[in-house]
Amino acid sequence: DKLGPPLMPLRDVDRARACPLLYPMFVLPVRALLGMDRFLSHEDLLSKQYLREWVPQMVGRVIFVSHQWLGYTTADPDGEHCTALKALFKRLMHEEISKVQVEWVNRLLFGNTIIHSRQWREALPHMFVWVDFSCMPQLPAGGQASKALRRQAGLAVESIPAYVERCDLMLILAPVCQHADSGQPCDYSTWRARGWCRLEMLFGLLTAQEMPVMVCRGGKATPYLTNPFDSFVVPAGEGAFTCCSLGHKRRGRDIPCDKVRVRGVLEHMLANIITRTKKQNRTEDLRYWASVGQRLLIGLPEKATQDEGDDSSEPSAPTPSGSTQMGDVSGLSSSDPDELEAFRRLLDWDEEADVSARRTGRTLLHWAALADRRPVVRALSFGPGGQEAMRQIVRKAAGQGLQTGRRLRGMTPLMCAMAFASFETVEVLLDAKADPWYMTRSRMDALKTACFCKNAENVERWLQRFPGCLKYQRVGGYFRLTPLHIAAMRPGGTCAPMVKALLAASADAHHRLAIGGGGV
């Protein structure tokens, strides 16, 4: 088959080898997809010889399609998702959509990425898609499957991180539909609620190089790019899993919880990324992932292994030996009695790092707050020079702007804690005289940071600790955004509890943005 120009700038092919490929990756040519009425099963497509096995020459030309199944045993029973995807592709190939770019909220915070109509027209006809139902083995609805098929299906599930790494764009396919079995509506909000869907987006964040994520809410809707940082807002472990809704029983048999499998996969990928960043001397990224890794495991069971003798047909989690080969994440939740020293070792922190921190403002206290390491935060805040260090951090952070992403520019330790830590850690910093009212030049503060990161508990408890604080809330920057604006920006997850708490605290729902529009 002729390979056209890549849709995105080519990246190092070696990035695709970071995660193990336990079952071959099959992809479907876009031209073949356009001739289908619905997503055909993996077995049907193999027999028709429609699928192609991934090869390195396909880098820059594969789209990972993430979608919510519209049936319990089949992905797209009425072909609605397939129809929407075909309609979108045809519009892009015919240049009916001038460009696909980042939605305005994320564009404001993380910058813009644009894929122009010419790029779509030239690349898309020669590209490939990966969609779960069509590109990996599926167990039959009746439950009668050979051991070989069960093993293949399990290996394919464990290979999903590797499949994501070999793709160059993630497409969230979420048109408004009705679930064939439950009758419930399905759309982007329900996609965001599904545990496996959240996990797939998280894979895009954890790959060797973050990939763009495009959202399609319908064949006639305008697609847009979003930021995989959303994975911190909607953790996979707090998503909905079918096994849990069924009480972990199917046809009278016990079935294991998918969350166990998810924990194993995530631990494997976190170990992978920590090892990789250390080998590449990307110290900043190493410290970031070592600090925030635990946040991604929220809602997941502590143990990532299944009971021995489990004869379930469900695939198992990656083996512990795999994680050992890729790296060690045990330090993410260390119980070392000298937690400060253990945390320094985890982050490769030495005297040179202390010198650099005084220059950049990214101190060990920032990372400890981000990691929710309360004993470390207390030791640093109340130890020798702690008060002076606290004041220096704020002074160094001032004027650097805000990026609520990896680099943490402009954020104080208190803002880091409000974003990702528990309120107990926040209280340690407040007791150490951290400035609760510090604002960046863009008018982001601790409360707004918690709203942006959807940390509802911290928002609620902050409002309890500082009653009446919203009356004196300063606005400006970012189109005069208030905490209520930020809390209501991205629906789903903890959005509703935050909005209710802010309204109960007398947030002004009528405050107008600089570009128009009220708080809700």
pLDDT digits (tens, 9 = 90+) for 56-73: 889 889 999 999 999 888
Q: Per-residue pLDDT averaged across 360-388, rounded?
A: 85
Q: What does the pLDDT read at residue 514?
A: 57
pLDDT above 70 covers what percent of the chain?
81
Cα 377 to the center of its chain, rounded Å? 26
Mean pLDDT of the chain: 82
| Distance from C-alpha of 257 to C-alpha of 388, rounded to nearest angstrom | 49
Each as own residue / partner, the long-range contacts of residues 476-481 (CB below 8 Å, 24 or more positions apart, any chain) are: 476/442, 476/443, 477/440, 477/441, 477/442, 477/443, 477/444, 478/108, 478/442, 478/443, 478/444, 479/108, 479/513, 479/514, 479/515, 480/511, 480/512, 480/513, 480/514, 481/443, 481/448, 481/513
pLDDT score of 404 more than 50: no
Tell me the angle at which helices 374-382 and 339-346 cross, rounded to the nearest 10 degrees: 100
The two structure tokens encoding residue 356? 């650099």
Decide: helix, strand or coil at residue 139: coil
Q: How confident is the model at residue 187 (pLDDT cuts 50, 70, 90)?
A: very high
Contacting residues for 173 by C-beta, under 8 A, at least 6 apart: 65, 66, 67, 81, 84, 85, 216
Q: Is there a contact between 271 and 326 (Cβ–Cβ < 8 Å)?
A: yes
Contacting residues for 246 by C-beta, under 8 A, at least 6 apart: 255
| Distance from C-alpha of 497 to C-alpha of 503, rounded to nearest angstrom | 10
Decide: helix, strand or coil at residue 171: strand
pLDDT above 90 covers what percent of the chain?
41
pTM of the model: 0.82
Q: How confident is the model at residue 391 (pLDDT cuts 50, 70, 90)?
A: low
Paired sense of beta strands 62-67 and 128-131, if any: parallel
Alpha helices in 146-194 (DSSP H): 147-158, 160-165, 188-193
Q: What does the pLDDT read at residue 307?
A: 41
pLDDT score of 109 more than 90: no
Q: What DSSP line would sit under 98-124, residue for residue?
A: -EEEB-HHHHHHH---EEEHHHHHHHG
Tell me the angle at which helices 374-382 and 423-431 cross, rounded to the nearest 10 degrees: 10
